[in-house]
Structure 1
């Protein structure tokens, strides 16, 4: 099996701002695995919050190329377990590798990934579209630029309620709020009361990731459901989030790819928690991988490629929140730039 690593700087349409950072370009690593005339593609993006760079991911993957090249007919689950032992300190690199291997494996089987997994796509949830923090006028403008049935609104400012109040004047869409660890317990409880009146569906990660006592209090007293993000990184975190959050937002790049995400989703369901998968401003390579998990999800945030000025791949397409799969097998991805 041949390994090809490519790096890209994904230019965004607009400056993207959350409570702790802003950026205009998203560095990304694409892994291609070639075998028997087939190619599988995977992706992971850099992230300063988790101290992950494209160079660090590439370096860690280059160190294990002999292992990757030696792989023959392992299932994705068997491959992930072996790769995890070698990349346990870099889940982002493992994610790109795991997605590529799942894609390649399904292509060899002549099936789309969701078909290989036995999933029915009849009741797939719609994806939201994210509005990053900006002036109220610009946030309204961004929303009007792309009318959508569900918006995810980034908050964590001194004007949070005013922002949502103004946005509500311009749409009947469902609102979801992501404060990215930017609130306190009292702020969250008070904000939830007002935000519920404004048609907000749930709050995502209002407190800092390690504030377990605070989230336990919110779990008991918030009038809106609370979804974990920064507090739920890997499989072991799902059980920790039980009775602290109403659901978990799983990110493929943080947990190590599709294989581990499926394990986390299964565990969350067993605990009676809502399931969500989010993105990290990936191109259509990473977003297409997420699409195959849709039948197992209550919510999804897979708008990363929609935020880009120019994509680097074709695969799934999204119109008005509805995901349409590629005709190709695997994840359905083809690179535009090589």
Structure 2
């Protein structure tokens, strides 16, 4: 089994703003596992606020002894302890590539691998309007595909004005994401009132991640679902989530991989939580991998392919407001390298 990596920078169509700051792109590390002509690909996307670098991820991958971790003939994970010592982005990319390699060798779709019903109830897909100057909103909205739900990044001084403008230009249900940007219930209530509470499907991580008290107060006060993102990193955080949140935003790079995300989605349902599948502006590869769990979700926030201009992969589309694979019967994630993708893979580790 050959492991190769390709560092890459994904570039946004427009500088993308959240309460974490403004950036023009996202550093990533793409991973390829190859054996006898079969390939599996993985992705670790590294926004600056998660504090992991391309070099750190590549160094961990170089140190991996693949035969001590994976058993391809059985399609199993051998080195659970080894995997769990990796940082979450490295673990995400490596296990993503391995799962797709298994599917490629065994000619399985990813839904078959996870025993998920590809024809089950459709989770509602959303696309994101990043932090915006008021005058830029019409252009940005015109460039987004017509999803069922519009997600709006908030947590800035112009939140009320943004929501008033969005309401005039777009009639979709709204999902508000403050990325920890609000400090009081009054700020949250002002933005929600400006959006129109009857149109708001949910509010994501309105307050700092350690302010569980404020999240609980908002949850109890307005009756609008409150979703945790930064407050809920992994399985341990999930256990106490119902006290302050109605739902959880699961992200691969945050929790450490598809296998962990599956377990968290199942446990979230057991706890009575809504499930949103999110991303950190991954390419079509990372978004397509997470889409495998759509049957377990209420909402899909997997819009990276529409926000970036140099996506090395393709295979997802938005059709009549629904997110779907172009070829749902293809092995693995149903995602393929785009012609002229620009990735340069170099072998590492062993």
Q: Distance in 1 between matches of 2:91 and 2:268?
A: 22
Q: 1:124 deviation in Å? A: 2.3
SS at match of 1:208: coil
Structure 1 pair 189/79, CA: closer, same or farther in 2 (3 Å)? farther
Match of 1:334 in 2: 336
SS in 1 for 2:9: strand
Aligned twin of 1:172: 171
Deviations 1:99-154 (A, max 9, x none): 11111112222111112222222222232111011111212321123352321100
Q: Is residue 38 of structure 1 aligned with residue 38 of structure 2?
A: yes
The corresponding residue for 1:128 is 126
Contact 1:2/1:35 (<8 A) preserved: yes
Q: Is the 8 A contact 1:41 1:333 kept in 2?
A: no
Q: Which residue of 1 aligns with 2:107?
A: 110
Moved more, 117-126 or 232-241: 117-126
Q: Distance in 1 between matches of 2:27 and 2:78?
A: 26
Q: Structure 1, residues 136-182: CA drift from partner, whole Å, max 9, x if none? A: 12123211233523211000112212211111111211111100000
Instruction: Identify which range, 141-150 or 33-42, moves more after superposition.
Output: 141-150
Structure 2 partner of 1:162: 161
- Cα distance in structure 2, aligned partners of 1:164 and 1:115: 41
Mapped to 2, the partners of 1:201 and 1:224 lie a distance apart of 7
Q: Which residue of 1 aligns with 2:144?
A: 146
Question: Which protein, 1 or 2, shows the higher relative CO under an 8 Å CA cutoff with sep ≥ 6?
Answer: 2
- The 1-side partners of 2:61 and 2:194 are apart by 47
User: What residue is the counterpart of 1:91 in the other structure?
Assistant: 88
| Gaps in structure 2 of 5+ consecutive residues | 344-350
**Total equivalences in the alignment:** 335
Q: Which moved more, 1:275-284 or 1:307-316?
A: 307-316
Residue 192 of structure 1: how far off its partner (Å): 3.2
Q: What are the superposed Cα offsets for residues 181-240 of structure 1, whole Å, 9 maximum, x if unpaired?
A: 000232224433443436121100000011122222222213311000111111111112
Q: Distance in 2 between matches of 1:10 and 1:211?
A: 32
Contact residue 39 and residue 104 of structure 1 kept, 8 A: yes
Give the CA RMSD over aligned residues: 1.9
Matches within 5 A, 1:224-263: 224-263=224-263
Give the drift of 1:92: 0.8
Structure 2 Cα separation of the partners of residues 76 and 132 of structure 1: 40
Q: How much does 1:37 deviate? A: 2.4
Counterpart contact for 1:291–1:316, Cα < 8 Å = no
Question: Alpha carbons of 1:241 and 1:54: their partners in 2 closer, same or farther (altered >3 Å)?
Answer: same
1:60-114 Cα offsets, whole Å, 9 max, x none, are 11111x2357632376663572443331xx1011001111111111222211111
**Closer/same/farther in 2, CA of residues 142 and 68 from structure 1, 3 Å limit:** farther
Unaligned runs of 5+ in 1: none
SS at match of 1:188: helix
Find the residue that maps to 1:127 and give its secondary structure: strand
1: CA distance between counterparts of 2:150 and 2:90? 29
2:280 alignment counterpart: 280
